[in-house]
Amino acid sequence: MASVDPKSSPNSPPALATTYEGDDIALLERIVPLIDNIEISPDAIARSEAKRACLRPEVLDEYAAVAKCVQFIAHGIGLSIGSFDRWEEGYLHLLDELFDRFELEWHSEHLACTVVAGENVGTMFPLPRTEEALDLVCERIRLIQERYRVPFLLEHVIHLLPDAPAQFTPAGFLNAITSRTGCGLILDAYNLECDAFNQGLDIMEFLAELDLGAVRELHLAGGVQYNGFHLDIHSSRTSNRTFILALDIIKRAPGLRVVTFEFLKEAIMLLGHDGICDELKRIRQAIK
Amino acid sequence: MIRLELYQRGLLDLLKKRGATPDDPYLRCVAKSQALVIVREIAVWWRVFQIETQCRFTSCLLKHLRCFNEVVTSYFNSNQTSPFVEELSRDFLSSLRTHDLQLIRTVAEFEYALLEVRAGCAEHFEIVWDRHPDLLFQALDKEDELPAPEAECVYRMRIDRELPEMITCTRETLVKGDLQN
């Protein structure tokens, strides 16, 4: 089983990663000297041909062109690891294609459901923190770990809808998954803030309970406030508040290997190439 | 504890405004929540965004007619939507083939054909316009008043990947007695 076994020494600073979804060579050329890893989202660089999804070869070529300068990690959206009936096999085909082409340090998914009874829901439903959901997710993680011999990480998603009746606390549920399966975690600092704002999550209590030794990657992003809710749309730079929380997590997570600044491809116009590069420099300065 | 299947099917039904009020107390609580409205808006917003980028003229026309969001929302609620923009666009445009307004049907048909042919489809498509298509596209681009239908002629457009420019269009004068849909 590929479990989380950080190789870097406890004192070395985490590496810096960012998202890149293709079609903007000028941006790629500017960000590569600033980062150590590129986070590839297989779903975001896929297209459907005759009802079958495949990775866009032109984007893969862009990654290949910088493969000597950066390492790659994969971060999925569409596996739907928590669907009651089945996960999305099509996503695994995309991942196979990516593994065939590149060496990935690890791959990850959201702890969520995006497909219900074969129907794409168009958003992510968080899982109820129940024994039933725990069993289902742990079994699927086991299958993933067997299939891909690199570590697998899960990321918690924000909760907008009222919390379902639960048998675990938010941190307790993640702890149960990581202790049963040996999989790692991605903590998203902005997602935690969204949950604090929208659902009253006590972040300090959450972090105190969470096994931070399982945290391998930290996500940074900025979002928006809309009709009284904080939304995790990766459309802006990281706020100072999120940054402070992230630095606290970095200090407390001994196995943390990578800090990733995430932004949507659609937000590049808003952020600008300069804005993205400035943000990467700012994060690098803060984490070193 | 709520069973996973009930939870997920229940949330999907609520998201897509399907079925009656749920019996389960948790789902009833979700049904009444402001957050559900936000989650619905976000889900539709993504579809709107994808459709705008892929189906430019259809989106412009629906916006011009002040029904874009309503049409996309109705499409989202009534159909399974693909996470892939290529499939979503084509399925959305196909769904407009039965729209009440002929102009919406024609523009959607045109964009569908264009997407298909650009994607390598060997089939050819014929679209018949009741007004000058270029003038219509210009008006949609500039958000101007749309050109009126021309009673005395139609514009017959062929979309085919074998054509040098992929599209040809000819103006045909109607003789008395010709039928127009």
Question: For chain B, what is the mean pLDDT?
Answer: 94
State whether residue A269 sits within 8 Å of chain B by CB.
no
CA distance B168 to B8: 49
Phi, psi of A245 (to 5 degrees): -60, -40
Phi, psi of B131 (to 5 degrees): -150, 165
State whether residue A132 sits within 8 Å of chain B by CB.
yes
A254 within 8 A of A221, measured Cβ to Cβ: no
What domains, with CATH codes, occur in chain A?
15-287 (3.20.20.150)
Number of domains within chain B: 1
Q: What is the pLDDT of residues A189-224, one digit of tens each?
A: 999 999 999 999 999 999 999 999 999 999 999 988
Angle, vertex CA B34, rays to CA B30 and CA B40, nearest 5: 80
Q: What's CA B59's distance to the chain center, in Å?
A: 7
Nearest CA among A271, A260, A193 for reference residue A230: A193
- Note the pLDDT of residue B179: 52
Q: What is the pLDDT of residues A130-163, one digit of tens each?
A: 999 999 999 999 999 999 989 999 999 999 999 9
Cβ contact B34–A78 (<8 Å)? no
Sign of CA dihedral A49, A51, A56, A60: negative
End-to-end CA distance of chain A: 31
By C-alpha distance, the chain A residue nearest B86 is A48
State whether residue A197 sits within 8 Å of chain B by CB.
no
- Note the pLDDT of residue B178: 59
Pairing status of strand B153-159 against strand B125-129: antiparallel
Q: Is A253 left (phi over 0), alpha (psi -120 to 50) or beta?
A: beta
List, in order, residues 6 or more apart from B171 with CB less than 8 Å away. B132, B153, B154, B155, B156
pTM: 0.91
By C-alpha distance, the chain A residue nearest B47 is A122
State whether residue B81 sits within 8 Å of chain A by CB.
yes
Beta strands in chain A (DSSP E): 15-19, 37-40, 46-49, 52-55, 71-75, 104-110, 112-116, 119-126, 152-155, 184-188, 215-220, 222-226, 229-236, 258-261
Nearest CA among B169, B70, B170, B62 for reference residue B114: B169
Q: Which helix (H) or strand (E) holds B129?
A: strand B125-129
A118 within 8 A of B79, measured Cβ to Cβ: no
Range of the domain at B88: 33-173
B179 assigned to some structural domain: no
Give the mean pLDDT of B24-41.
96
Nearest CA among B17, B34, B22, B25 for reference residue B1: B25
Cβ contact A53–B84 (<8 Å)? yes
A201 within 8 A of A245, measured Cβ to Cβ: no
Residues of A in contact with B3 (CB under 8 A): 132
Residues 15 to 44 of B: which have CB under 8 A from any A CB? 15, 26, 29-30, 33-39, 42-44
Decide if pLDDT at A167 tops 60: yes
Closest Cβ–Cβ partner in B15, B36, B82 for A48: B82
B120 assigned to some structural domain: yes
Closest Cβ–Cβ partner in A84, A161, A165 for B35: A161
B25 assigned to some structural domain: no
State whether residue A122 sits within 8 Å of chain B by CB.
yes
B89 assigned to some structural domain: yes
Phi, psi of B169 (to 5 degrees): -145, 135
Whole-Å CA distances, A271 to A26, A134, A264: 14, 38, 10
- Note the pLDDT of residue A6: 45
CA distance B181 to B177: 13
Pairing status of strand A119-126 against strand A112-116: antiparallel
A204 within 8 A of A212, measured Cβ to Cβ: no
Nearest CA among A179, A184, A228 for reference residue A75: A184
Closest Cβ–Cβ partner in A85, A167, A266 for B1: A167
- Note the pLDDT of residue B177: 62
B9 assigned to some structural domain: no
- Note the pLDDT of residue B181: 43
Q: What is the pLDDT of residues A34-71, one digit of tens each?
A: 999 999 999 999 998 877 899 999 999 999 999 999 99
Helix axes B34-54, B56-64, angle to 10 degrees: 120
B73 assigned to some structural domain: yes
Residues of B in contact with A163 (CB under 8 A): none
CA distance A81 to A95: 14
Q: Is A274 left (phi over 0), alpha (psi -120 to 50) or beta?
A: alpha
Q: What is the pLDDT of residues B90-142, one digit of tens each?
A: 999 999 999 999 999 999 999 999 999 998 899 999 999 999 999 999 999 99
- Note the pLDDT of residue A96: 97
ipTM: 0.92
